[in-house]
Amino acid sequence: MDDIKPKHVLCFAHRGEAKAFIKRWNLKGSGEKALSGVWSTQAKQLAGDKQPPDVWILGEGIESAGIRLSYLLGRFPEVNSVINLGVAGFVLGGVVPKGFSLPEIGSLVQIRTSYGMHYDQKVRFKSYTNENLLEELPVFDCFSIGRRLTQANEYLYVSGFAAIVDMELWGLHAAAASAGCKLESIKVVSDVVDPNRAIPENLCSLVKSKSDELSELLWQAWTTWEDSRKKPTSRSELPKDFAEQLNSEFPQRFWLSSYQKNELGKHLRALSISKSLEPEELNSIVLKWIRKSQIDHIKGPAKKRGGVLSDRLKEMIYAEGAFGAR
Amino acid sequence: MLDKTFRKIMFETDVLEYPQAQKILEQFSKVPQQEINRVDDFFGRAYKPYLQKRDSLQLFLGKKRGKLLKQTPDAYGIGTGPHYYFVHAYNCIFECEYCYLQGYFSSPDIVLFLNHDEICKSIVERTKADLASGHKQVWFHAGEFSDSLALASWTGELRAYWDCFKKLPNAALELRSKSANIRPVLEQEPLENVVISFSMSPKKVVGEIEHGTSPVSARIKAAAQLQAKGYPVAFHFDPVIHRPNWKTQYQELFASMGKFIQMDKVRYASLGTVRFSSDDLRQVQKNYPRSKLLGAVFEKDHEGKHQYPVAMRKEILSQLRAQAERAGIPPEVIYDCMQGF
Ligand code: SF4
């Protein structure tokens, strides 16, 4: 499973927002009625990374955009990562996370937690948080509303949860989560709303009057995302499965039931923390220690040795000193 | 410092009748503020991840509605009388990795309830009822869902509780804290039945696990200062975290305490090892996957709590008891807190 390459798609609410992408990548809309809004490259022969991602135009509104995304993820199960690019408003008085300042119109923000409210005007308890944030962009939380807000006090209410407001994101998250798909979002701030004053009548004016400019900004968001993801991560490698290593070092000497494997995993995690050892380092120390303490020589079935190994490792967690003499 | 900590303040219209609300709002005038109808319309309405307390913490000011007092679990405090806790705040500005609040509310935002007058009224009524039914003393605890002293300089509620307990000699109040912020206590006169208790852990554990709390040396000095001025002082060696060299670390802790504190005058001292509900443990694993707390195996006890193996707990508690006694804390005031053997 882990070896499957992520297949990204980019999703937008309106075609105008995606203009710059469609043009640059020379994308063509699908001729199939059920796939209207799906734009793909004609250069299918380009391999791997060179092939531009598909663009999906999902329409406006939490429900309708969410339903559309659900459908498309069902049709294209190979897609495991969705990047939502779109416009959003900034509500003055909303929570600005420490370290960031009020965004200006036209600036890019990435969304951390997505809150939502449906047509019934009830806030949804479920929120979605993206832990995988880019260093390059300011981080904000977003509240998705089910309909266009017209009253200042409605914006005031929303600002109690988040500072960015849009009309889709929560629905997209819900759809992506149920398909087991990752979703990230970068927004261009198109309006700043002061809930203590009258609501400007032409909210989202940027979308209509300056869609070329807006689409270019979203292109910039995409390139920022792409560049950031290409950087090597500093995260340490996950440890190789200890049971596998055990089996290759001591073929058929230890047998562990699924429960015991699970327990052993817990003990190793606890040991790596209590002895301040990186998991890989710990694995090799434990293997050496098994050899030295000759647990693999204990007489009896492999199952018995598996049990002894698990018990001895558990004792080690609380033992003072490292894997020295016992 | 706190005006950078809170990113927004939301206050109920109803609390504006309390001068304390006005004071808090004035003190944080640079923080965006919003008048609301009810805290419940926002707090806990949508799940807010716990660690967002680090950069997106909101402060709510409201009135506590519903039950104002709750009975504590068994073996919570010393003595045989009934113990209650009252809730005048939700959540905490500190960040102890073992804190059960990370799984308790669906938001880390801080709520301060300002209707201390009503809470005090319930305390008086409860005390009268319990004394009438034959109890000799009734205990009330603050700090079940927050730290009692961390914000007390800003929130200014201690006066109300002092006035209340001054009139209730058969009731006792415990203010539990990991903060050395004793200024608001020193503004009140010492009362025999108001005990300030400090949770104590070795220096290393405080540094690794109790983020943002006062250093243990500061807690010791704060406790000593209070004691010297006649305030009753108590300690909680709870939760004890098993770390390599824990015995030596506790020996050092008791030795440092002994230098400043009159150990024979300690009102009480509780001992307890770290314990988690399944939900709390999941939260710790999620929020602090490499926490030193997780360098242990936990076993489920008969109440479904995840604890160190029984033998380990017994060893820790007996060692600690012996060390506490050797340090001069009278044996009769040392008790095990909610160990459920
Ligand atoms: S001081 Fe108490 S309430 Fe605050 S984080 Fe630590 S354990 Fe939780």
**Option in A113, A269, A318 nearest B242 (CB):** A318
* pLDDT value of position A233: 47
Instruction: Give B200 Cα–ligand 1 centroid separation in angstroms.
Output: 12
By alpha-carbon position, which residue is closest to atom 8 of ligand 1? B99
With a CB cutoff of 8 Å and minimum separation 6, the contacts of B256 are B216, B217, B220
- CB count in 10 Å sphere of residue B27: 15
pLDDT at A49 over 70: no
Contact A188, A106 (CB under 8 A): yes
* pLDDT value of position B1: 66
Query: Which residues of chain A are within 8 Å of residue B295 when distances are taken between CB atoms?
Result: 270-275, 317
Q: State ipTM.
A: 0.88
Instruction: Give B4 Cα–ligand 1 centroid separation in angstroms.
Output: 20
Whether B56 contacts chain A with CB within 8 A: yes
* pLDDT tier for residue A200 given thresholds of 50, 70 and 90: low
Query: Which residues of chain A are within 8 Å of residue B297 when distances are taken between CB atoms?
Result: 266-267, 270, 314, 317
Q: DSSP secondary structure string, A53-122?
A: PEEEE--SSHHHHHHHHHHHHHH-TT--EEEEEEEEEEETTS---TT--PPPTT-EEEEEEEEEB-TT-P
pLDDT 10s digits, A294-304: 999 999 888 88
pLDDT 10s digits, B214-224: 999 999 999 99
Eight-state DSSP code of residue B81: S
pLDDT 10s digits, A147-192: 777 777 888 899 999 999 999 999 999 999 999 999 999 999 998 8
* pLDDT tier for residue A239 given thresholds of 50, 70 and 90: very low
| Average pLDDT of the segment spanning A81-98 | 94
pLDDT 10s digits, B317-328: 999 999 999 999
pLDDT at A2 over 80: no
Could you give the CA distance from residue B309 to residue B313 in angstroms, rounded to a whole number? 6
Which two three-digit tokens encode residue B288? 């602090």
A-B contacts at Cβ under 8 angstroms: 82
* pLDDT value of position A274: 84
* pLDDT value of position B271: 96
Whether cis (ω within 30° of 0) applies to the bond prior to B239 is: yes
CATH assignment of B63-87+115-336, given 3.40.190.10, 3.80.30.30, 3.40.640.10, 1.10.8.10?
3.80.30.30
Q: Which residues of chain B have pLDDT under 70?
A: 1, 75-76, 338-341
Alpha-carbon gap: B266 to the closest alpha carbon of chain A (Å): 31
Structural class in CATH, domain A8-230: alpha beta
Task: Provide the mean pLDDT of chain A.
Answer: 85
* pLDDT tier for residue A280 given thresholds of 50, 70 and 90: confident
Q: Say yes or no: CB of residue B144 within 6 Å of ligand 1.
A: no
* pLDDT value of position A89: 92
Task: Find, among B24, B85, B86, the residue nearest to B59 by Cα.
Answer: B24
pLDDT at A127 over 70: yes
Query: Which residues of chain B are within 8 Å of residue A99 when distances are taken between CB atoms?
Result: 55
**Option in B7, B36, B291 nearest A97 (CB):** B7
pLDDT 10s digits, B48-84: 999 999 999 999 999 999 999 999 877 667 777 899 9
* pLDDT value of position B81: 83
* Contact (CB<8Å) A125/B45: yes
User: What is the residue extent of each domain of chain B?
Assistant: 63-87+115-336
Work out which ligand 1 atom sits closest to the CA atom of B92: 4
By alpha-carbon position, which residue is closest to atom 6 of ligand 1? B96
Out of B97, B175, B213, B283, mutate this one to test ligand 1's pocket (max ligand atoms within 8 Å of CB): namely B213
What's the whole-model pTM score? 0.88
